[in-house]
Amino acid sequence: MSVADTLRYHWNVNLLGRAALRWRRWQTELLAKTGSGWRSEILTPPLRISAWTKELVGRHYLQGNFAHLHDKVAWVTSGAPIEFLRALDFYVLYPENHGAICGAARVVVEIASEAENAGYSRDICSYARTDLGTLISGKTPVGKLPKPDLLLACTNICQTVLHWYRVLAHHFEVPLILIDTPFIYTQVSDHALTFVKQQLEEAIPMAEKVAGKSLDQRKLKQITRLSQMATYLWLELLERCKHRPTPISVFDQFTQMAPIVEMRGDAVTVDLYSAMLKEVNDRIAQGIGVVPNEKKRLLWDNLPIWYRMRYLAEFLGRHGIVITASTYTNAWGELADLINPEQPLVSASRTLIHTLLNRGAGDKLATMRRMIDEYNLDGVILHSDRSCKPYSIGQIDQRDRLIREYGVPALLLEADHNDPRSFSEEQVANRLDAFIEMLGV
Amino acid sequence: MSGIKALGIDVGSTTVKIVGVDTEGKMCWHILEQAEPRVEDQVERFLDHTRQVVGTLDRIPLVATGYGRGLVEQATRSVTEITCHAKGVYREFGHGGTLVDIGGQDSKVIGISPEGKVLDFVMNDKCAAGTGRFLENTASRLKVPLDRMGDEALSVVEEVPISSTCTVFAESEVISLIAHGVPVASILRGLHRSLIKRTVAMIRTVGIVPPLMLSGGVVLNPAICRLLEEETGEKVVLPRYPQLMGAHGAALFALEILNDGSQVS
Ligand code: SF4
């Protein structure tokens, strides 16, 4: 990377880009202040701080657009350990998160069709199809995705990533680090933890080689510490929703979660969530809820339906129903206690292996039950996600046991987190209506 | 005539029904027709018909249910078919249990509490197999009139298993069975079994709380009831008007509105 490249990078990212994003943020904040930017008679406007979150996510993808001038790039799966990559100054991209952006921007059908036309089955996860579609066609709402120098996939979320990243490795002809995490049926064993830790130890020299520098242990500890701080803050934010009325709904959580996923070890993420917590505390102090007259509080299981969030929020909000918590957003906070900045690799092995999708279905049920109690919830919506098999498997039994053993009404809602072709509005509305009537609202 | 105090209309995907109830909530009048493509026109015609019977609809509340409930602009309110079916059968039997409704294009199982409340439900509206359409499709292949299918199926003991769970594939399987000279009645019995097996899987999701009650157009087919009893080992009870349970339930909600404006319960 030449001096000219570095200058071009800073000119585009840190001067022009940053100014443009800041300007957009100010505009949004101004609109929020005057209340003129929000058109919903049912829902409370989003947090004012959303403008900042948007700016940060925008900046992250802007950096990606110019990353080839400045950084080595790693593509990683959502459950992967990024702290050591950040410590080696990699620009880290999450194709799944990019997929979610495409989902919310409602461009998935167009992009995923490119992958389907190339022969990828529609039964493959829609995140993978979106990513492969972008790969094939270059189509993306974020400008462009930087070409990776390194790939890091971790099997703690699903087996799809294993094959997906092999395709990426083949396409880009770059090294792929694979971290295999043994599934935890009941308890994690010491040798499973050692196995994961050893893989991390083997991964580091590979990543160092690509980065062209050695890992600075102090920096790694510092980044792990920031990760932990952000994770604790995220968890605290979610726990604020134990209040009645719920200050932020699960739909707000979904839109605010991008930084905890893709900017976990950054200092700015800690700043963002600290400020967010303050705003949420203010809401609580003022008694502001997401819906004006909160009657019922629900739990959401599985990924969001990115392309229909507002629809669902308003549909339920109209009846005074708010989705207060979700196992999905919780998964990004629940492991905070396992992070130990003094022992970054041990801590990474522990968090990797304990990821929600790497634990047995009974464990998820227990998590749901705990959340129902702690958040005082009246029912559960289990999104049966056609794409995400590991999240959806077991839901029929989980629903059954929630109803029978716990007396909690539960609804299975069939859809797909990213592909609107698997979402039937009529059928969803009918089920939700019946569920709402059943809840006695 | 009339005595009609409240009305319920069930706009389903295959049939449209309207039921009138008296002050006691007793069903005293109804119309049932095949659904037409222009549902709005059909509903308007139904209401014209109703006006001829009751004079004016001004003080007669109307509750709409069924898939097309949103299209009934004249309705005082709309309630889903799940809640209306539960209401209708509870009124008819006076007890809770497990209601299985197999309609032309969807099927549902509803757990009803001893007090008549919906405890749980599952719906299948994603796949034609498991609905009346499964039989309809294959009946046309076998050239057996729909209303004879059940009797035909029950007329034999031998049964050919149909392995395809998909309606379209079952059709090709049936064609090949006919080509192999398998008796039509045995094929029919196998088809009924296949439908019932799918239904039972749905029932198990909700869990059987006896008695098992059956409603929907498919109930008119005697093989459905018999095989369902065989597969579940439970006695199945049938309402007098299996196709009108949703509309009756809707009319009962309308009556509640008339009486005290009370909410769905
Ligand atoms: S299958 Fe599930 S866990 Fe795997 S990539 Fe898709 S959404 Fe993520």
What are A324-364's pLDDT values in tens digits?
999 999 999 999 999 999 999 999 999 999 999 999 999 99
Q: Confirm if B196 and B228 have CB atoms less than 8 A apart.
A: yes
Tokens of A189: 């064993």
- Using an 8 Å Cβ cutoff, are B76 and B8 in contact? no
Question: Residue type for A288, please?
Answer: I
pLDDT of residue A271: 98
Q: How far is CA A345 from CA A82, A331, A336, A353, A428, in A?
A: 11, 20, 15, 12, 44
E strand segments, A12-122: 72-76, 90-93
Interface probe with A: pick from B69, B125, B209, B263, most Cβ of A within 10 Å: B125
Contacts of B109 (CB under 8 A, 6+ apart): B98, B99, B100, B101, B121, B122, B199, B202, B203, B205, B206
- Region A90-108: mean pLDDT is 97
What share of chain A in percent tops pLDDT 70? 100
pLDDT of residue B174: 87
Provide the residue ranges of all domains of chain A, joining segments of one domain with +. Answer: 47-439
Query: What string of pLDDT tens digits covers the 265 residues of chain B?
Result: 578 999 999 998 889 999 999 999 999 999 999 999 888 899 999 999 999 988 888 889 999 999 899 989 989 999 999 999 999 999 999 999 999 998 877 889 999 999 999 999 999 877 877 788 888 888 778 888 888 999 999 999 999 998 877 888 888 888 889 889 999 999 999 999 999 999 999 999 888 899 999 998 888 899 999 999 999 999 999 999 999 999 999 999 999 999 876 544 3
CB-CB contact of A47 with A279 (8 Å): yes
Q: Which of A424, A71, A350 is nearest to A194 (CA)?
A: A350
The residue assigned the tokens 């004016």 is B56
Tokens at residue B219, please?
Answer: 């109930």
Q: B117 to chain A, minimum CA–CA distance in Å? A: 8
Question: Domains in chain B, start-ordered, CATH in brackets?
Answer: 1-78+244-265 (3.30.420.40), 95-234 (3.30.420.40)
Residue of B nearest to A415 (CA): B126
Q: What is the per-residue pLDDT for B263? A: 44
Measured distance CA(B170)–CA(B162) in Å, rounded = 7
Check: CB of residue B72 under 8 Å from CB of residue B50: no
B80 to chain A, minimum CA–CA distance in Å? 6
Check CB contact of B80 with chain A, cutoff 8 Å.
yes
Average pLDDT for A64-89: 94
Closest-approach residue (CA) in chain B for A434: B80
With CA atoms as reference, the chain B residue closest to A409 would be B120
Q: Where are the beta strands (DSSP E) in A349-434?
A: 379-385, 410-415
Task: Name the DSSP class of A96.
Answer: H
Residue partners of B61: CB distance under 8 A and separation at least 6: B6, B7, B76, B254, B255, B257, B258
H-helix or E-strand containing B42? Answer: helix B39-54
Is residue A180 within 8 A of residue A155, CB to CB? The reply is yes
Q: What does the pLDDT average to over A198-222?
A: 97
Contact (Cβ atoms closer than 8 angstroms) between residue B56 and residue B75? no
Choose among A60, A26, A94: nearest CA to A269.
A60
Q: Which residues contact B222 (CB under 8 A, 6 or more apart)?
A: B150, B151, B154
Q: Do B120 and A433 touch (CB under 8 A)?
A: no
Residue type at A122 in one-letter notation: R
For domain A47-439, the CATH class is alpha beta
Three-state secondary-structure class, residue B240: coil
SS (H, E, C) A170-225: HHHCCCEEEECCCCECCCCCHHHHHHHHHHHHHHHHHHHHHHCCCCCHHHHHHHHH
Return the amino acid letter for A412. Answer: L
How does pLDDT run across B7-61, given as a tens digit for each residue? 999 998 889 999 999 999 999 999 999 999 888 899 999 999 999 988 888 889 9
Place of tokens 């000219």: A4
Q: Name every chain A residue with its beta carbon within 8 A of the beta carbon of B119.
A: 403, 438
What are A46-57's pLDDT values in tens digits? 999 999 999 999
From chain A, the residues in CB contact with B82 under 8 A are 434, 437-438
Closest C-alpha to ligand 1, atom 4: A158
Q: Work out the minimum CA distance from B194 to partner chain A, whole angstroms.
A: 22
Residue A95 token pair:
């194709």
C-alpha closest to that of A441 among B83, B189, B19: B83
- Cα separation values, A417 from A48, A103, A108, Å: 26, 8, 11
Q: In this structure, which residue's CA is closest to atom 2 in ligand 1?
A: A388
Mean pLDDT of A355-382: 96
Alpha carbons within 13 A on the beta-carbon side of A348: 29
* Residue A297: strand pairing partners: A322
Q: How many CB atoms lie within 10 A of CB A176?
A: 18
Question: ω before B239 within 30° of 0 (cis)?
Answer: no
Handedness of CA B196, B199, B204, B206 (dihedral sign): negative
Q: Which atom of ligand 1 is nearest to the CA of A158?
A: 4
pLDDT at residue B220 in the model? 87
Residues shown for chain B: 265
Q: Is the dihedral of CA A334, A340, A345, A347 positive or negative?
A: negative
Tens digit of each residue's pLDDT (9 = 90 or more) over A211-237: 999 999 999 999 999 999 999 999 999
Task: Tell the residue number behind the tokens 């149909």, with chain if given.
Answer: B162
Q: What is the pLDDT of residue B162?
A: 87
Strand partners, A91: A73
CB B245 within 8 A of CB B215: yes
User: In this structure, are strands B118-124 and B107-112 parallel, antiparallel, or unpaired?
Assistant: antiparallel
Element (H, E) at A402: helix A395-406
Confidence label for A33 from pLDDT (cuts 50, 70 and 90): confident
- Asked whether the beta carbons of A156 and A78 are under 8 A apart, the reply is no
Q: How far is the CA of A157 from the centre of ligand 1 (A)?
A: 6
Band of residue A405 on the pLDDT scale cut at 50, 70, 90:
very high
CB count within 10 Å of CB A313 equals 23
Residues 6+ apart with CB under 8 A from B58: none
Phi, psi for A381 (deg, rounded to 5) = -110, 120
Tell me, yes or no, if the pTM score tops 0.95. no
Residue A143 CB burial class (10 angstroms; 0-12, 13-18, ≥19): exposed
Residue whose structure tokens are 């509870």: B90
C-alpha B132: how far from its chain's center? 10
Query: Between B83, B117, B205, which is nearest A434 by CB?
Result: B83
Q: Is B61 helix (H, G, I), strand (E, B) or coil?
A: coil
E strands along A80-182, which residues?
Answer: 90-93, 150-154, 176-179
Which tops the pLDDT comparison, A39 or B68? Answer: B68
Contact between A427 and B126 using a beta-carbon 8 Å cutoff: yes
**A404 vs B contacts (CB less than 8 Å):** 207
Q: Which amino acid is at B39?
A: V
